[in-house]
Structure 1
């Protein structure tokens, strides 16, 4: 009889279900743990499976259901993830949160209610120097220090160094009225979402402190300064103040919400004047009237994704030359799929330089706050930046092979040229697909193909 019980428990665990009846822990409770989709609904699975690179954050999701109420449960990894070579991904690399709508809620303990699915989100931040290989472990539900259910994890780390994205990502914090300490803490979190630049605002005298905060957060040295309505002399003072603090790429940004002709004319003259002085300006544009007025004089633009010019780029039109163009949208109003695509494959298809999310207006109905943090929407945004990292890595390897062919580095260039042609054909096929109609699994499949081509190309690239 005892052997039958053991076999039943093992079979249940294999199917994503664990059943324990341990005196003093939980009596006669059935616990089900199953892996589910992150951004799409997929069939439940008895194992969390992930494929990624070192220095990458990868999400997973799972649900827990109990037959009777369980109070004070702790959900965490049972230990480090370990490979056959005894390499480890530390358990601390996994962040677990509860999913409530689009929000991801941090927790220490959780009360599980009978018959109700509780969904959890796992973000695994793989350390930079993690060796390639397959790592296994378990995530478990603990009560009184003992596991009452386990869900196996298998993480495959690819043998490839993932490059930084060739696109730039910027984000303006919109948490008004928060303390300086909270603001700094939020800034420090931006790089984990692929963000490399941000904005500062406030009086000119506050620029040096704003620059220091940005540097402390390890963000880039290109900074957007938002303080609409300044005079010419005040704008020039802002540039000098930034330069004295060590920043020469300060972009003064216009008040993007207006389409009033008088305001646009004033902004146009300001940008034209600054352009003649070789100073940096940025136009955040959300309507066609503003684009037609300011597009020719702005050194840099952040264009709303709905603008006709942007949509024409997605249809294959050539870009305006000599201008740095980013695009933006409202992360909180977009779906997870839209956030991933807009930060990733659609951005690549457009040919634009990157993303800059400006100060977007909020109101009392905005429940998301800073939508990029602690939300499924932000996780999707970061997935998009990682899609671009994979594309960048593949294209870098492709360029090296093409340069090698051109320089005569191959004794027989035919196989190399065939791989180049195959890679370019696959990328063109991906960009021609109706991306918004695909599933998250399709984007993951593309990502793994990009990785496969990157590794094949890197293996034959000439060593200079």
Structure 2
């Protein structure tokens, strides 16, 4: 019996040692970098990455109900074929967060029309942008291009259709239509529902994007799990994923987030920014809500049945219909307001906004008379304006959606009249800069005392929406690319969501300060820090560090309160 035990132990030891050396040998063929997710520093397949990012551990803090991104890069020192990546559940002492809430995608680099903030096509620039489940959905010629800010005239993109064939989406033949609606039957494109195996060539990087969706009912505490990289049955690396679920119930942002949204429900739908099947429309509305947008506008005037269907879907998904930003109603439609007010009220609509002539001067007698007529029948008016245009109508325009760098002085003027001011085109939805969208549509709006944001646009297909080179004017405007049954998100869209979340943490902190002050607590340190942040230059700030400081002050204030009042710092 003793000999059997010895043989068994030796065999087990052999298996362990064999596995260890097999794992170590395979692991030597890759380097893992844990990199910032929301950054404007671009990682290309051949980029050099600082060794300070080398790590096998990913750590993140988030609150219940929050989506929080992290990212890592694998650099292969030999060809890695058909690598699979899976996450375990995240386990803690007080619960489990299922692996289905750990969403892993590849970051796809492909060729786009510019590398800076210009809206027009300037060349062909290799750009990280798409978040894919199936990395082979886009095939790229010229992945070895090393300069993100230099054009590669030979760079090409190809899109995989559902029949596994590829179509060229980078030709520069001008399209005749500003809003090319490609029938779904001609462009059947769909991403996978689960992360597909990935091949990485020797000497290349592959970036991955992990979004943690913390359940609303998750208990506060520390959770951990493992992200496993395999080729076949062999484990080549395991990454530790640590999540701290914060004891914070995030407030809704004290800003309103809308978007210009051109999508309209049609029978056939399309692969474009325009016609949508009910399934496409629903998927896009849910995607907007998941990114913090609660009130996209209705861009044109559908028939009544379609408008009711759209409002119904928005309600079902969870959007707020209180303000109906109805671009299909214009200055000439004052007589129609009572009808639409009555028709939309059952779907939660309280305020209907008509739209003035886009980006035009409305400070003249005819336009003012039309705005007064709309006010007289219970309606409101919104319009996209330049700073000078908006300044001239502050006392009569209910909502100015103002182009460019936000003006604190203009915001104060609108507020004196009880009116609102939103930001757009800072920038428009064109450049692939996540941090820029986070900053400009997050804390910058608070600094300038704006009431919200309504950028242009969730999608605007200029020619083929998947082709950045087939239109002689502007590039396509895309936060999320349309497919037959869903969307493919972009890194700049994830940056926008982080801006919304920054404002949610800010709002939660402001609420905590008010509550603590009402209980006679000392809030001077937090208030002083906020005052300094209000006047700071956000371009030089580490926005992750700012978020962390807001978290620390929220937790400190909660600790000062008794359990009864602590429980009232919650979502509004």
Fold-level similarity (TM above 0.5): yes
1:97 & 1:456 partners in 2: Cα distance?
Answer: 35
Deviation at 1:335, TM superposition (A): 2.6
Q: Does the Cα contact within 8 Å between 2:354 and 2:382 map onto a contact in 1?
A: yes
Q: Does the Cα contact within 8 Å between 1:55 and 1:125 map onto a contact in 2?
A: yes
1:207 & 1:294 partners in 2: Cα distance?
Answer: 30
Counterpart secondary structure, 1:430: helix
1:245 & 1:139 partners in 2: Cα distance?
Answer: 44
Q: Which residue of 2 aligns with 1:369?
A: 478
Query: Which of the pair is proportionally richer in helix?
Result: 1
Deviation at 1:241, TM superposition (A): 2.8
Deviation at 1:228, TM superposition (A): 5.0
1:242 & 1:284 partners in 2: Cα distance?
Answer: 24
Counterpart secondary structure, 1:282: strand
Q: Which residue of 2 aligns with 1:144?
A: 232
Q: Which residue of 1 aligns with 2:81?
A: 71
| 1:372-424 C-alpha deviation (Å, 9 max, x unpaired) | 9611111111111111111111111110122223xxxxxxxxxx33xx11111
Counterpart secondary structure, 2:478: coil
Of residues 46, 54, 59 in structure 2, which corresponds to 1:45? 54
Q: Which residue of 2 aligns with 1:239?
A: 341
| 1:66-96 C-alpha deviation (Å, 9 max, x unpaired) | 232232222221x11122x162221111111
Q: Which residue of 2 aligns with 1:30?
A: 29
State yes or no: 1:433 paired with 2:536.
yes
Of residues 346, 359, 376 in structure 1, which corresponds to 2:444? 346
Q: Does the Cα contact within 8 Å between 2:395 and 2:417 map onto a contact in 1?
A: no
Q: Which residue of 2 aligns with 1:410?
A: none
Q: Does the Cα contact within 8 Å between 2:85 and 2:230 map onto a contact in 1?
A: yes
Deviation at 1:430, TM superposition (A): 1.6
1:280 & 1:228 partners in 2: Cα distance?
Answer: 11
- 1:245–1:129: structure 2 CA closer, same or farther, 3 Å change rule? closer
State yes or no: 1:218 paired with 2:226.
no
Counterpart secondary structure, 2:83: strand
Greater shift, 45-54 or 235-244, is seen at 235-244
State yes or no: 1:304 paired with 2:403.
yes
Counterpart secondary structure, 2:320: coil
Q: Where in structure 1 do 4 or more consecutive aligned residues deviate above 4 Å? A: 2-10, 316-319, 358-362
2:502 & 2:259 partners in 1: Cα distance?
Answer: 18
Q: Does the Cα contact within 8 Å between 1:284 and 1:358 map onto a contact in 2?
A: no
2:445 & 2:17 partners in 1: Cα distance?
Answer: 51
How many correspondences in the alignment? 429
Counterpart secondary structure, 1:38: coil
Unaligned segments of structure 2, at least 5 residues? 1-10, 42-49, 109-127, 135-195, 263-272, 469-474, 482-487, 566-572
State yes or no: 1:383 paired with 2:519.
no
| 1:269-306 C-alpha deviation (Å, 9 max, x unpaired) | 222211233322222223523x1444321222222233
Of residues 37, 54, 59 in structure 1, which corresponds to 2:69? 59
1:334 & 1:148 partners in 2: Cα distance?
Answer: 32
- CA root-mean-square deviation: 3.2
Q: Does the Cα contact within 8 Å between 1:371 and 1:378 map onto a contact in 2?
A: yes
1:268 & 1:288 partners in 2: Cα distance?
Answer: 16
Deviation at 1:448, TM superposition (A): 1.6
Q: Does the Cα contact within 8 Å between 2:381 and 2:397 map onto a contact in 1?
A: yes
Q: Which residue of 2 aligns with 1:333?
A: 431
- 1:90–1:278: structure 2 CA closer, same or farther, 3 Å change rule? same
Deviation at 1:234, TM superposition (A): 3.4
1:33 & 1:128 partners in 2: Cα distance?
Answer: 31
1:251 & 1:180 partners in 2: Cα distance?
Answer: 24
The equivalences for 1:224-263 within 5 A come to 224-227=325-328, 229=330, 230-243=332-345, 245-259=347-361
| 1:148-187 C-alpha deviation (Å, 9 max, x unpaired) | 2112211122222222222211123232133332122101
2:380 & 2:328 partners in 1: Cα distance?
Answer: 14
Counterpart secondary structure, 2:519: helix
- 1:433–1:193: structure 2 CA closer, same or farther, 3 Å change rule? same
Q: Which residue of 2 aligns with 1:411?
A: none
Q: Does the Cα contact within 8 Å between 2:429 and 2:478 map onto a contact in 1?
A: no
Q: Does the Cα contact within 8 Å between 2:334 and 2:377 map onto a contact in 1?
A: no
Of residues 320, 329, 350 in structure 1, which corresponds to 2:416? 320
| 1:205-264 C-alpha deviation (Å, 9 max, x unpaired) | 232222112212210022211115543323443333323655232222223233487xx6
Q: Does the Cα contact within 8 Å between 1:275 and 1:299 map onto a contact in 2?
A: no
1:66 & 1:244 partners in 2: Cα distance?
Answer: 58
2:63 & 2:18 partners in 1: Cα distance?
Answer: 36
- 1:246–1:155: structure 2 CA closer, same or farther, 3 Å change rule? closer
TM-score, scaled relative to structure 2: 0.68
- 1:7–1:430: structure 2 CA closer, same or farther, 3 Å change rule? farther
- 1:20–1:190: structure 2 CA closer, same or farther, 3 Å change rule? same
Q: Does the Cα contact within 8 Å between 2:443 and 2:503 map onto a contact in 1?
A: yes
1:423 & 1:48 partners in 2: Cα distance?
Answer: 29
Greater shift, 210-219 or 251-260, is seen at 251-260
Q: Which residue of 2 aligns with 1:412?
A: none
Counterpart secondary structure, 2:70: strand
- 1:9–1:31: structure 2 CA closer, same or farther, 3 Å change rule? farther
